[in-house]
């Protein structure tokens, strides 16, 4: 969408100034930025920014462009002109501020989004939608204003809502990727994309994808996936969220997402039930890591959280000084490397693979679509498909009867 079209929409009253001001306030808060800080970037006073955000003063299109640059969003996002569809979101993923280091993650998400669009056209694949339980989570989160606050407490409360509505109780989350897809319409992809990006969440009006780097150990991956799920459920206004290290989060929104991830993966009552009053030692820590499939670092912070209270801060720091390998060995784990080494797992949403396979077998989908979905050379993939007896329809030889 061009600036000229945006300017026409704005001047014609397409969106009321109050709505745009509220959206600017929401986008600003999501970045942990104060109104004063945004005002400084615009050369405006605190009172002027307050008027803009409450709708009593309009911004001209030039000022809107500066706001978009500072908040790292598009003019369309500020004006509420949502672009729909996987291809539009794929373009946003690639057009967002980027560096060479993040290119592999963005490329992988783009491939998945483009595959989704191709399968929708060729096979009638329908978009993922939240389950009834997932919709109740969203309704309750809005009703309790969880989505508008940015403290860790809201993250914990959201995790409690998710667990209650999905029926998890205090049990471990067995398959987090499946939970994302089944209940929240979030396509989950795991891929070895290196350690520059640990996770990426891209979500639009009718499509959403989370990518987790399997170049990290499994426990790290699960925490990252839960962190990105929080951004999606909470309706983070950023269409494309790229995480380098979720554990190094400093902004209120990122800390809220971390609190959600910890509470979702390690519910307080679940931790206490496993500990069962025992002293925290190597055996208990090993048992907890196996039970909840979390990293050593995440577990120690979870146990020392004031809401859990199973470790003091000093005890946590003493355990952190120990290597996870040594703790697991003493705790009886015969394969501690499984918790410290990258898994290099490759996971694509099963619904995409099922649709692609069906379309390939009936001739509606070409090898190129599957090649993009699996990020593999077409010739190499063709051989693998033949070995698995996944074949396109036979081509009729019209000369055979002559």
From residue 365, alpha-carbon distances to 207, 374, 387 in Å are: 21, 14, 19
How do residues 113-166 score in pLDDT, each as one tens digit? 999 999 998 999 999 999 999 999 999 998 988 877 778 999 999 999 999 999
pLDDT at 84: 55
Query: Do 204 and 290 belong to one domain?
Result: no
- pTM for the model stands at 0.78
Length of the chain: 402
State the residue range of the domain holding 65: 3-81
CA dihedral sign of residues 196, 206, 76, 373: positive
Q: 218 versus 73: which is more confidently predicted? A: 218
Residue 236, domain member (yes or no): yes
Does residue 341 form part of some domain? Answer: no
Given this model, what pLDDT does residue 41 score?
A: 84
Domain boundary among 333, 356, 377: 333
pLDDT digits (tens, 9 = 90+) for 347-366: 999 999 999 999 999 999 99
The reply to whether 244 and 124 lie within a common domain is yes
Name the average pLDDT for the chain. Answer: 88
Give how many domains the chain has, as a whole number.
3
The tens digit of pLDDT for each residue in 262-304 reads: 999 999 999 999 999 999 999 999 999 999 999 999 999 999 9
Is residue 384, in this structure, part of any structural domain at all? no
pLDDT at 90: 86
Residues 233 and 152 in one domain: yes
Last residue of a domain, one of 284, 316, 333: 333
Quick check: 319 and 281 in contact, CB under 8 A? no
């Amino acid at each position: 969408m061009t600036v000229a079209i945006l300017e026409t929409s704005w001047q014609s009253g397409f969106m009321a100034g109050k709505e745009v001001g509220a959206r600017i306030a929401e986008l600003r808060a999501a970045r942990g930025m104060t109104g004063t800080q945004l005002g400084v970037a615009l050369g405006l006073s605190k009172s002027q920014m307050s008027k803009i955000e409450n709708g009593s003063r309009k911004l001209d299109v030039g000022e809107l462009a500066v706001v978009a640059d500072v908040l790292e969003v598009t003019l369309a996002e500020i004006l509420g002109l949502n672009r729909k569809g996987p291809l539009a979101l794929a373009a946003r993923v690639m057009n967002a501020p980027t560096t060479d280091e993040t290119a592999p993650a963005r490329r992988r998400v783009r491939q998945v989004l483009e595959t989704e669009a191709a399968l929708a056209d060729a096979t009638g694949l329908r978009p993922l939608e939240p389950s009834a339980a997932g919709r109740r989570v969203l309704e309750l989160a809005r009703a309790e204003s969880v989505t508008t606050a940015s403290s860790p407490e809201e993250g914990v409360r959201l995790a409690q809502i998710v667990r209650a509505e999905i029926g998890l109780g205090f049990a471990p989350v067995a398959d987090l990727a499946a939970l994302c897809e089944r209940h929240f319409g979030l396509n989950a992809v795991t891929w070895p994309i290196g350690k520059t990006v640990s996770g990426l969440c891209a979500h639009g009006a009718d499509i959403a994808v989370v990518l987790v780097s399997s170049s990290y150990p499994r426990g790290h991956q699960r925490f990252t996936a839960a962190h990105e799920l929080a951004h999606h459920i909470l309706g983070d206004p950023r269409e494309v969220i790229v995480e380098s290290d979720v554990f190094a989060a400093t902004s209120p929104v990122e800390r809220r997402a971390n609190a959600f991830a910890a509470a979702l993966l390690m519910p307080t009552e679940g931790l206490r039930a496993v500990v069962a009053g025992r002293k925290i030692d190597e055996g208990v820590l090993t048992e907890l890591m196996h039970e909840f499939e979390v990293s050593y670092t995440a577990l120690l912070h979870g146990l020392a959280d004031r809401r859990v209270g199973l470790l003091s801060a000093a005890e946590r720091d003493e355990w952190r000084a120990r290597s996870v390998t040594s703790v697991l060995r003493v705790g009886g784990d015969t394969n501690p490397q499984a918790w410290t080494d990258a898994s290099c797992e490759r996971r694509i949403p099963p619904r995409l693979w099922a649709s692609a396979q069906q379309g390939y077998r009936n001739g509606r989908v070409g090898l190129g679509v599957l090649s993009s979905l699996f990020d593999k050379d077409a010739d190499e993939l063709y051989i693998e498909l033949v070995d698995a007896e996944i074949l396109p329809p036979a081509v009729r030889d019209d000369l055979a009867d002559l």
